[in-house]
Each structure stands twice: as structure tokens, then as C-alpha cells.
Amino acid sequence: MSVASHFDAMSYGPAPEGDAEARAWLARHADGFGHFIGGAFVGAASGESFETFEPATGRLLARLAKGSAADVEAAAQAAREAQGPWSQLSGHARARHLYALARLIQRHARLIAVVEALDNGKPIRETRDIDVPLAARHFYHHAGWAQIQEREFPGWQPVGVVGQIIPWNFPFLMLAWKVAPALALGNTVVLKPAEFTSLTALLFAELAVAAGLPAGVLNIVTGEGDTGALIVEHAGIDKIAFTGSTKVGRLIREKTAGSGKSLTLELGGKSPFIVFDDADIDAAIEGVVDAIWFNQGQVCCAGSRLLLQEGIADKFLARLKRRMDTLRVGHSLDKCIDMAAIVAPVQLQRIEKLVAAGVAEGATLYQAAIDLPEGGCFMRPTLLTDVQPAATVAREEIFGPVVVSMTFRTPDEAVMLANNSRYGLAASVWSETIGLALDVAAKVQAGVVWVNATNLFDAGTGFGGYRESGYGREGGREGVLEYLKPKAWATRQPRPATAEPPQREAANGFSLPSLDRTAKLFIGGKQARPDGNYSRLITSPDGRVLGEVGEGNRKDIRNAVEAARKAEGWSKASAHNRAQVLYYLAENLSARAGEFAGRIAAMTGATIEAAEAEVAASISRLFSAAADADKYEGRIHTPPLRGLALAVHEPIGVVGLICPPEAPLLAFISLIAPLLACGNRVVVVPSEPHPLSATDFYQVLETSDVPAGAVNIVTGPAWELVKTLAEHDDVDALWVFGQKELSAMAERLSTGNLKRTLTDNGFMTDWHDIASCEGEILLRHAVQVKNVWIPYGE
């Protein structure tokens, strides 16, 4: 071939990255890798092992220890022993350790990048330029949080021993996302990498030894899914942080229910990539390339649903196909490729099966007209058009290089299509009209929104999902809080078992007793008879009948949820308006303070002074929530790019709330107030033995401009009502304060729509203690953080 013909063709030759160092490192471990436990590499207790292969060639890369119960036990014990001393180091000392790790990652960046590319099959260009630098950034950033921890989080302490389970799509980066914050804040770690991609975690363990990280602070147990399950179920682990499929996320929620373990889940996605007709089309097409063919589309936040405004759809798709034909698929170590190998044959088969299902359901298939390398797990960039919103490929996470496209006419339709998913991880919005782009960003249900950009990440900006994409955040201040727990809650004592719940009295028709003694339910701003037409007697501790309340059932909860759903206006109201309403509630409660104190004293047997103190604290708490309504705001981040990321606090939506038996007014107010302040609508089950101060509160609500449906109150058996709330798919979050078993049930049954739960696990809160129930301690559970990235420039 002549030089001139090269100029004509302008084709690329291969530009392979050297792998000698990586192969030498692997050769040094030719006998197999052990687990990393207590600062040393140790063989599997069972002697069992498994193999890991190179996706681009199918070659064997290494043999790894298979983690058994004994290995997990040893790792959890090592982590437990190290946790106290590690958390007692000064923030500065921990910062220096993280800083040392960051430095070592940078020093060994090329080796890590090559090992990662070999093990996962992803392009070296991505491991070298994205995964490894971002991982280093996570350690630097979190070294900073360690340094200022005592100053920034005086009321918080480390969670303890954290079990971390990570997937194969970004093995090293996910390790950094999990390990850096955990260690920075004083926790110790038992980490399981994915079975396909454990090598960079083991390389990192070697770096940790070199960096002088104390033994036991970081432990790595390799293995398959069942090793992960052993970590999840280990009683000596205080928190599970998981990234992976929604299916396994659900399983983990079930397994940890009632264990008291805290949980963060970073799960799947089906993220919309919305292009309006005034978008910069060339930029948007490059955006699609980054959104779906980055990392072979094996990205939880991949822009896998392309939503095009009708006017530009044909032109856009034609240009996109042309661009697809210029993409290069090759060996992961070739520096001139756009896409490399799928992680494993089983994944490739799964993707191909889903594409075939798409075609069978009527989609039109386009695959880039390009050559693939011989052998290995390669796949062509793939586009499915003519896809219906209900089609399998429009709903299921394909987790491969496959984008499906649909069209829309108006911004409202775009938002509707975008939100027509059980997931809510990320979204991209493309428009040159910033007002339109930001309006859509606000309306899309997703934890991360990129405006005129895609797949931007930074340690200082949180990442995580809405809805079935999971809960919890990684990165940013909100990510730090996931690795801390309130000191005020650490000393809570188990709630004494209550006497048997009061007997249900079949009152022979709801309206039999005199009306002034019978409280109905409060649904959609109105008093409503309970569906079952039963009521229960409420008595004082010495057996006097104080009144009667409705016995709510499943139907009542459903009606209340429906009313709460409709009260969307409350979530859209300005923070100032919400504050006004909360102040007004406080004012009206204050006007009737004596009456409420009398009621509390009669119901609970408390002295009148104690009851008055409860009312006074409730009024104060409403004032605090009113104050917080327009002050518990988001943040503006300045990630390393020209632009901003806005961390916006959004309401979660409809929140179910089970109030504890004690402090019937104060606990009720302490829990509804922050939820209302943050714009949530609530369905509340008040104290089961002492519900009358909540039913008396109807009149306060009615006279305080609380919109209908923002607060719904259903009295009755917490046991039955929590079940309906937990299983209801229109309830977005559930707070449960009460007997331990209630917490367990709520968590176990919450997996349907993966609702967020806040449970006290049977531990009693001191409702008079501001540190225990006012401010960020509850507010952070009343919001979900959406990070909107807005790069700018000419």
C-alpha cells in the first residue's frame, strides 16, 4: 500500500498498548491469587478456586480463591478488630492514608489500566483516561473528607464494618467509589469484586500493603455470587453497599430486612437520552456514542433510550447510522478503538437474545457496517428503531451496546416517555434552549441529569438512583453521609415490648357511640369513615374510655395513598409556601395547647407538666421544620470541567409513616414535619395505643391551609397497615418507628418498587432530644438528591 493511499483511506492501524508489565505481574501470581485478609494474602479455607479469562481472546488470565463462609468470617473478624483503632485515628491520619493510596494509584496508573483492560475487555483508552484517574480522584477527594470529618460531621460516627459488593463493568472505579468513602470516614471494609473481574482489586490490595494501610482495614474476598450472599448475611457486618443488578439488589434487601444493617443499592437503569429539535445535532450524536457505546454499553447509567423530537428524528438517525459505521471495535489494548469486548460469553448471549426479542416485537435493527475482530466476545454497535414504549427492549436493561429509539412531539411527551420506566438512574437532555433543558431536567425522575452532555462523573458530585435504580448516593456530601450514623441514635435502647395491642371492639356499626367521641380517618383533606365500619376503644392507663377511633384497613390505606398521589401540588409548592403552612400549623396547635396537653395526659398517664412539655416541644419542632423548609437546600458543585453540577433536594413523593407508640403527639409531629417541609405527601398511622392527639390534629390541619391529601391519617393496627404500605407500589418511601418486627416486615415487603425505608429497628428515640430527631438526621431521609450537570462554554 502506498503512502498516498493511506492518505486517501485515512484508516487506522492498530496501536497496541504494551502489556509486558501486566503479564509479568500475572506471571508472578501464576500459582493463583488468595484472598486479602488482615493485611496479607491467604489461600481459600476450602482450597477451592475459580478461573478468570480475557474477554478479548478467551485466554486464561488467573486462578482465584473461592470465598467460603470461613473466609468471609475471617475477613469480617479482621475488619471488626481493625475498626475501633482505625476510627480512633485522627481524621488527619486517615487522610494521609487515603492520600498515600491516591498517590500510589497514580504512580501505578498504567499497570492498573492495562490489567483492567485485559480482565474486563474494555478499551485501554477508557481505563487509562477515565477509570483510573477517576479512581485516584475519589481517594484524593475523600482524603479531604477524612481531614475535615471532625469539623464537618461532629454529630456523626462511622457505621462500622462495611460489606461491599461490586460488579464487573467498572471494577476498579467501583472499588474506589466504595472503599474511599468507607475508609475515609472511619469504617473498615470486606469487599467482594465480581467473579469476572477481580484482578485490579487484588492489585489494589498490594498497593494498600505498600502504602502501609493498617492490617484489617481493607479485606478482599474473591468469589462468586454465593460469596456475596455470605457477606450480606454475616451478622458481624453493619452495612452493605451494593452495585449490580436490580434482581440481586432486591434479594439483598430481603436478606438484610430486620437485621439492622444499613443498605445502599446502586442498581440498573434504562436512562433516556432526550434530543430536542433545537439541539446541536453533531454534539448530540457524539453524545449518543458516549452514552451507549462507552464501555460497550455495560454502564448502569447508559443512555439506552434515545428519545428524538419528531422533526429531527429521520435526519438524526441517518447521521447516527453514518457515525456508527465509523466506530472501531477491537482488542482492548488497541488504543485506536471505540469499543472492545463484552465481558463474557454469557453476557454476549444475553444481549443478543434481547436484541432478537426486540426485532420479534417489531423493532427495526441496524448494526454498524464494520468488521469485528476474530474470536473473543465482540458485538457491533446496535440501533433499534420503530420501538414501542411497551416493548421489552424499551423496558429492560440490555447492558450492552444497544440503543433503542423512539420519537416525541412536545416537551411534555418527552418527559412522559422518559419517566415511563421503573428505573430512574440518569438522563441526558439536549437542547440549545437552556430554559427548556433545565425545565425537563427538573421533571425527569432520575438521580443524575446531564444537560447537553452524558456520562460525566466526579467524586464531589453524588451519583445514585430514583425508584428501582436503588437508593443511597456515592460521591458528594450525600455519599459521605451514607458511611456515617448519628451519634444520637447510637445510644438508643430497645423499646420495651408493649402490652398486647388493644382488643378490636366490634362496635356494632361505626356510628354507634356519640359522635363527639368517635374520630374518623382523615383522607384527602376530609374526615372519612373507615371502610370496614369498625372502630376501637381508646382507654386511659387506668381503663377509662377516652374515645373511639376508626379501625383503618387495606382499603383505607389505598384511598389515602391515592389522595396523597393527587396532592402533587404540595411537592411543587415553593419552599416559602411550605414554611408558611408549617408555621401556621404551629400557631394553631399553640392556640389549643392546653387541650392537647390534657389529651396526652389522659391517654398516656403522663403528668400534666410532662404533657405540656410534649406539646411545647411539638410546637417548637413545627417551627424548626418551617425554618428548614427553605434552608435544607442543595448545593452547587464545581467539578473539574467548565460548568456546574447542581445538587438539588427533591421530595421523595408519597411517604408512608408508622408512628411509635410513645410520645403520641411529639413523635407524630417530629416525623411528619420534616417530610412536609421537604415537599412530601404523607400517609400516617399514628400511635396505635394513643391515637387521639393525632385525630384531634385534624382540626389543626383543616384550619392551617394544608392542602387536601398532603397529610392523610389512618388510625388502626400498625401490623396490618404497615404491610399494605410496604407492598403499595405508589408509596415511594416508608418510615417505620415501633416494634422491631414492624421494621423487619417493612423492609422485607418494600422490595416491590424498592421503596426507601427508614426504620428504628425497635430502638426508642428520645423525642425531646433535638439531636435525635431534628435537622439533617431526618431531613436527609426526606429528600432525594438529584445532580444536574450543566457544562457550559461557547
| Cβ pair 586, 734 in contact under 8 A | no
Q: Per-residue DSSP letters for 420-475?
A: -SS--SEEEEE-S-HHHHHHHHHHS--SEEEES--S---TTS-B--SGGGEE--BS
**Whole-number Å distance between alpha carbons of 318 and 304:** 18
Identified binder of ligand NDP from the candidate list 399, 423, 534, 789, rule CB under 6 A: 399
SS3 of residue 2 by DSSP: coil
| Cβ pair 120, 196 in contact under 8 A | yes
Q: Which is nearer to ligand NDP, 452 or 787 (CB)?
A: 787
Q: Is residue 167 part of the contact set for ligand NDP (CB under 6 A)?
A: yes
Map residues 217-236 to x or -, x wherever contact with ligand NDP holds by CB under 6 A.
-------xx--xx--x----
Q: Which is nearer to ligand NDP, 300 or 317 (CB)?
A: 300
The site for ligand NDP, by CB under 6 A, has a size of: 26
568 residue type, one letter: E
| Cβ pair 124, 117 in contact under 8 A | yes
Work out how close the CB of 487 gets to ligand NDP at its nearest, in angstroms, rounded to a whole number: 30
Q: Is residue 292 part of the contact set for ligand NDP (CB under 6 A)?
A: no
Map residues 239-258 to x or -, x wherever contact with ligand NDP holds by CB under 6 A.
----xxx--x--xx------
Work out how close the CB of 400 gets to ligand NDP at its nearest, in angstroms, rounded to a whole number: 8
Map residues 347-386 to x or -, x wherever contact with ligand NDP holds by CB under 6 A.
x--x------------------------------------
728 residue type, one letter: H
Work out how close the CB of 741 gets to ligand NDP at its nearest, in angstroms, rounded to a whole number: 24
**Whole-number Å distance between alpha carbons of 181 and 459:** 10
Q: Which is nearer to ligand NDP, 299 or 779 (CB)?
A: 299
Identified binder of ligand NDP from the candidate list 169, 188, 295, 739, rule CB under 6 A: 169
Q: Is residue 72 part of the contact set for ligand NDP (CB under 6 A)?
A: no
Among 17, 54, 126, 300, the one annotated catalytic: 300
- Cα Rg for the chain, rounded, in angstroms? 28
Q: Is residue 397 part of the contact set for ligand NDP (CB under 6 A)?
A: yes
| Cβ pair 694, 684 in contact under 8 A | yes
| Cβ pair 436, 443 in contact under 8 A | no
Q: Is residue 122 part of the contact set for ligand NDP (CB under 6 A)?
A: no
Q: Which is nearer to ligand NDP, 304 or 332 (CB)?
A: 304
- 301 given a catalytic annotation: no
Q: Is residue 165 part of the contact set for ligand NDP (CB under 6 A)?
A: yes
Q: Is residue 464 part of the contact set for ligand NDP (CB under 6 A)?
A: no
- Backbone phi and psi for residue 508, each to the nearest 5 degrees, phi listed first: 55, 55
Q: Is residue 447 part of the contact set for ligand NDP (CB under 6 A)?
A: no
Work out how close the CB of 50 gets to ligand NDP at its nearest, in angstroms, rounded to a whole number: 9
- 266 given a catalytic annotation: yes
SS3 of residue 599 by DSSP: helix
Q: Per-residue DSSP letters for 129-187?
A: IIIHHHHHHHHHHHHHHHHHHHHH-TTEEE--EEEEE--SSSHHHHHHHHHHHHHHTT-
Q: Is residue 192 part of the contact set for ligand NDP (CB under 6 A)?
A: yes
Q: Is residue 194 part of the contact set for ligand NDP (CB under 6 A)?
A: yes
Q: Which long-range contacts (CB under 8 A, 24 or more apart) does 114-117 make?
A: 114/17, 114/18, 114/19, 114/21, 114/22, 114/333, 115/22, 115/25, 115/26, 115/199, 115/200, 115/203, 116/171, 116/172, 116/197, 116/199, 116/200, 117/17, 117/332, 117/333, 117/340
Identified binder of ligand NDP from the candidate list 34, 55, 268, 660, rule CB under 6 A: 268
Q: Which is nearer to ligand NDP, 111 or 229 (CB)?
A: 229
Q: Is residue 49 part of the contact set for ligand NDP (CB under 6 A)?
A: no
What is the distance, to the nearest Å, from the Cα of residue 454 to the centroid of all Cα atoms in its chain? 19
**Whole-number Å distance between alpha carbons of 181 and 745:** 30
Among 266, 562, 688, 747, the one annotated catalytic: 266
Work out how close the CB of 327 gets to ligand NDP at its nearest, in angstroms, rounded to a whole number: 22
Active site residues: 266, 300
Can you give the binding site for ligand NDP, defined by CB under 6 A?
165-169, 192, 194-195, 224-225, 228-229, 232, 243-245, 248, 251-252, 267-268, 300, 347, 350, 397, 399
